[in-house]
Structure 1
Amino acid sequence: MPRLHQALVLIGLLWVGQDAFGQKLRLVGDGWPPFTDSTLVNGGLATDIVSTALARAGYASEFEQVPWARAMLGISEGRYDVLVNAWYSEERTHIGRFSAEYLVNRVRFLKRKDAAVQFDTLQQLYAYPIAVVRGYAYSKAFDEDSQMQKVPVHNFAMAVRMLAADRVKLTLEDEYVARYYLAHESAKVRNAVEFLPKPLSENSLHILVSLKNPNHEQIVAGFDREISAMKADGSYARLLKQHGM
């Protein structure tokens, strides 16, 4: 075979190899700062952790932010490869493969620092008005408890300002989300409130890899391996610190 022909064949094989193995994984998530938000550094804390672990496992990726319903539909149809921020549910195993836990979402109550509120059981909180965001799910027990004095509000920022002004006695939110929004509040609001020690609920955060991707098993295995390695070598902790956590 002439040398020029051999070279062209080799270039063609390399191009085919890159096309087959160099394709970017399509990451998706809804707007959920500080975890996933296209306006934040590297798409937010969760997106940064996920894309870093996948890169270490050999997968390039790109992130797109869409509403939650569209993200779930895209995973089920294979238009996206990886849902960045998923809580485990049996129903979702029919459309994707879950990774191991890579973050934990802890929903915690906040009170005014000068308030003598304690929380061990929900019954202890029946006497207190609690600001809750409309449409949010906090925990099954809390959400279904009709004796709670729930005061619906539009968002956590409104809730924590009402708390600081002593218009309600408690509010609640995922700890990372609360810390993110508190960092954007005035010092007066930040310094007036604090977390209660005991979480209301804990949910493990996972990636969900579409079953439509033929390599979903390998992607999950590589991701889990690299998350463990990142925790061991300190790079996981450095990412948390870089995102202010």
Structure 2
Amino acid sequence: MNSRATRIALLLSMLLTFPVVAATEHPTVASITNDAWPPFIDVDGRIIDVDGRNGLALDIVTTALQTQGVTLQVTIKPWARAMRDVVDGRNDLLLATWKSEDRQQILLFSEPYLQNRLRFIKRVGDPFEYHDLASLRGKRVGIVRDYSYTGEFAKSHNFIREPHQDLLANLRMLAAKRLDLTLEDEIVASYRFYQLKLADRYQFTGPPLTIQNLYLSAGIDNPRSQALISAFNQGLKLIMDDGRYEQILARYGSMLHSNQMPEIIRPSTNPAAHRPLMEASMYVSTASPTSHLNMPWWHLPGAL
């Protein structure tokens, strides 16, 4: 073999044996979006750092992805638009998502990283008490447009579901008596009541409608989705193992505690584990001060 042929053979050999970067290797920069949902996400269109907090969910997701070398670019949008932009691939990630059968056709979900407790909210002074779906007969219930309300609540014809842009829009409608009830994650609603000094106007009623796992998600047709969700899952396990996850929860738990708000619920795939919590008397509004709980959060199951 002449020298030229030898060089070509050697070059081909090197190309065949040189490590090839896997197509699924995760990107180093990703765009993430959500609606403003304090205290889970509490930024105004960009990452800011006020007292070290950008929002409980955002801090968990950011920390987990940073362990994998992924930096996030954050954009805040109305929920319906945020979800549409992730499904269409204009953004890579949706920060805080509940899972449903319909959404699994269009979104790829991470491992759960928190849980949400959905509770009904009424005007102070309204004698109504929520007990079960039958007790909602004839009621007008404000929901958030394109949120995933699953199960019998989404199917029932005993009451009217009225979609609006967000919790604040529903609270305005509730104050004007154009709605009878609305519902929201208990921590989110408590935080809004505290922020906007609304604790004398609204209160929770009855047990939670549901306890929902909270996920990071990505558009199923986005070629970056699998790599980014895998990177997050790896990072989430890492920060759960090394204590950083607990540190984030402790920091926000302290803030919630200082404002008399409910405890943070860690992710779980075992709903039965929360049955005693769901049946606790603290969830009956007649037994609790306006919009607050009648028991310190650190005494409850699952508290920090």
Q: 1:202 aligns with which of 201, 211, 214?
A: 211
How far apart in 2 are the matches of 1:198 and 1:87? 19
Residues 235/184 of structure 1: CA separation in 2 closer, same or farther (3 Å cut): same
Return the letter of the residue paired with 1:84. L
Q: Secondary structure at the match of 1:101?
A: coil
Q: Could you tell me whether the CA contact under 8 Å between 2:113 and 2:215 is conserved in 1?
A: yes
* Distance 1:167-1:74 versus aligned 2 partners, 3 A rule: closer
Q: Identify the match of residue 136 of structure 2 among 115, 125, 128.
A: 125
Shift of 1:119: 2.4
What SS class does the counterpart of residue 223 from structure 1 fall into?
helix
Whether the aligned pair in 1 keeps the contact of 2:119 and 2:209 (CA below 8 Å) is: yes
Q: Give how far 1:229 is off.
A: 3.0
Q: Distance in 1 between matches of 2:216 and 2:209?
A: 23
Deviation digits for residues 132-165 of structure 1 (CA, Å, limit 9, x no counterpart)? 1463543442233222155666643243345456
Superposed CA deviations along residues 6-58 of structure 1, whole A, max 9, x for unmatched, are xxxxxxxxxxxxxxx99623041222322345417455332221001222x33
Give, in whole Å, the separation in 1 of the partners of 2:165 and 2:229: 40
2:89 aligned counterpart, secondary structure: helix
Map 1:134-213; keep pairs closer than 5 Å: 135-137=145-147, 138-150=149-161, 155-163=166-174, 168-185=179-196, 187=197, 189-208=198-217, 212-213=223-224
DSSP-derived class of the 1:100 partner? coil
CA drift at 1:182 = 2.0
Pair 1:26-2:30 in alignment: yes
Q: Secondary structure at the match of 1:208?
A: strand
Conserved 8 A contact 1:132-1:151: yes
SS at match of 1:74: coil
Asked whether the 8 Å contact 1:27–1:84 carries over to 2, the reply is: no
Q: 1:230 to 1:47 in 2, by over 3 A?
A: farther
Higher normalized contact order (CA 8 Å, seq sep 6+, divided by chain length): 1
* Amino acid across the alignment from 2:190: R
Structure 1 residues 50 and 205, CA gap change in structure 2 (3 angstroms) = same
Distance 1:86 1:33 in 2: 12
- Tell me, in whole angstroms, the C-alpha distance in 2 between the residues paired with 1:154 and 1:233: 31
Taking a change above 3 Å as real, the CA distance of residues 91 and 212 of structure 1, as seen in their structure-2 partners, is farther
The one-character-per-residue Cα deviations of 1:62-114 (angstroms, maximum 9, x if unpaired) are 22326321122228xxx73x432233345666776532211112221012444
Cα distance in 1 for partners of 2:163, 2:109 equals: 33
Counterpart residue type for residue 141 of structure 1: E
**Which residue of structure 2 aligns with residue 88 of structure 1?**
99
| Cα deviation, residue 171, structure 1 | 2.1
Deviation at 1:225, TM superposition (A): 0.9
The DSSP-based 3-state class of the residue aligned with 2:121 is strand
**Which blocks of at least 5 consecutive residues in structure 2 are unaligned?**
1-24, 262-304
Report how far residue 125 of structure 1 moved: 2.3
CA positional deviation for 1:122: 1.0
Mapped to 2, the partners of 1:51 and 1:191 lie a distance apart of 35
Aligned-residue identity in percent: 25
- CA contact under 8 A between 1:99 and 1:223: conserved in structure 2? no
Going from structure 1 to structure 2, the CA distance change for 1:230 and 1:102 (only over 3 Å counts) comes to: farther
TM-score, structure 1 length as denominator?
A: 0.67
SS at match of 2:195: coil
For residues 159 and 174 of structure 2, what CA distance do their matches in structure 1 show? Answer: 16
SS at match of 2:63: helix
Identify unmatched segments of 5+ residues in structure 1: 1-20
- The count of aligned residue pairs is 218
Contact 2:113/2:213 (8 A) holds in 1: yes
| Aligned counterpart in structure 1 of residue 44 of structure 2, from 20, 39, 45 | 39
Aligned to 1:14: none
Q: Distance in 1 between matches of 2:37 and 2:240?
A: 24
